[in-house]
Structure 1
Amino acid sequence: MSETFVSGVAGRYATALFELARDAGAIDAVKSDLDRFAALVAESDDLKRLVRSAVFSSEEQERAIVAVLDRAGISGLAGNFFKTVAANRRLFAVESIIRGYDALVAADKGEVVADITVAQPLSDAHAATLKEALDQMTGKSVQLAVTVDPALLGGLTVKIGSRLVDASLKTKLNSIRTAMKEVR
């Protein structure tokens, strides 16, 4: 594995899960289960609330997570991982943990993860064009982790490692607003 480092609570959990999955020869199976869970969170406001809210007790979170995992068919390492995260009251970090795990998997495969934030979902053609441009720029295979944030208004932000390119309309408008204030 290359020198990819993920930090904080999410980083510790992601690294531990990655090491367990690698030892079990289940890196891709765990990634698939994590991706399925992330998709469920993205689709369900109730599940988002459960994951992000500190209002629910550990027991309530555990019961709800077990039900979600059973329904989604997520078991094994990933299932046990989600149950542990819920028992330790760390569900609030699960989305960051999944991103950290994805970064570790990509690094293990010699790939790079680009965190893309867009105002509207990317079409397949735009995603392919963006991936191709980033592949050429980095000289590696780039995996896109796309997040939709309507607050950007338009454009996109691209983060690869510590490099950030912000081509969002929101940032451009804020720059114009700042420049206008300085002129006065």
Structure 2
Amino acid sequence: MSSSVAANRYAVALFELAKEKGVLDTTRAELEAVKQIFQEDDQLNRVLYHPNVSPEKKQELLRTAFSSLSDIVVHTLLLLQEKKRLNAVVQTAEAFIDLVDEEQKRGYAVVTSVKPLTDNERALISEKFAQRAGKATLHIENIIDRDLIGGLRIRIGDTIYDGSVKSQLNRLEHQMISGKR
């Protein structure tokens, strides 16, 4: 079984358990932290993946390192370690986060602008584009690109809404070169 298939199975099981217990948001936040730790802590990874470290020591390390997290998350990590699936922790966390976001109709947009967006601009963009994306809320990540000249470029998943001045000028240039009006 591939790592991603296993990760999805663990994520679905964890999602159902967290939903049943009413702790989706808490578990989501904890898994975001776990994901970040597994992606950034080379020392932890070296120990957890080292063949000469006993499974008992690995379990003890996981219990100690993640003692501040809920039992549901710690037990999931221990289960992944026991089943020799620690390589699927990040994918499991990502799959769980996706399931929670889908359940709560939460979406994400990357908005590229010339200057940082104000809170009001973020709220307005979120409100208008959440409807288009079929989401209840849309969290905005703002990227600054001075080359846009003005306007916005909004990416939600695979869809791009390009209302930048640079893009409009490029289209106008293309139309003029091709002789179209």
Q: Report which stretch shifted further, 91-100 or 32-41.
A: 32-41
Contact 1:58 / 1:87 at 8 angstroms: preserved in 2? no
Contact 2:39 / 2:90 at 8 angstroms: preserved in 1? no
Tell me: CA distance 1:18–1:100, structure 2 relative to 1, closer, same or farther (3 Å). same
Residue 23 of structure 1 corresponds to 20
Identity within the alignment, %: 23
Any gaps of 5 or more consecutive residues in structure 2?
A: 111-115, 142-154, 161-181
User: What amino acid does structure 1 have at the position aligned with 2:133?
Assistant: T
Q: Does 1:82 align with 2:85?
A: no
Residue 49 of structure 1 corresponds to 46
Alignment of 1:129-148 (within 5 A): 132=126, 135=130, 138-140=133-135, 141-143=137-139
TM-score by length of 1: 0.57
Q: Does 1:64 align with 2:71?
A: no
Any gaps of 5 or more consecutive residues in structure 1?
A: 1-6, 117-123, 146-157, 166-184
Q: Does 1:96 align with 2:91?
A: yes
Quote how far apart the aligned CAs of 1:49 are: 3.5
User: What amino acid does structure 2 have at the position aligned with 1:63?
Assistant: E
Superposition CA RMSD, Å: 4.0
**Per-residue Cα deviation, 1:36-71 (whole angstroms, up to 9, x for no partner):** 2223234422124346x363656143222112112x
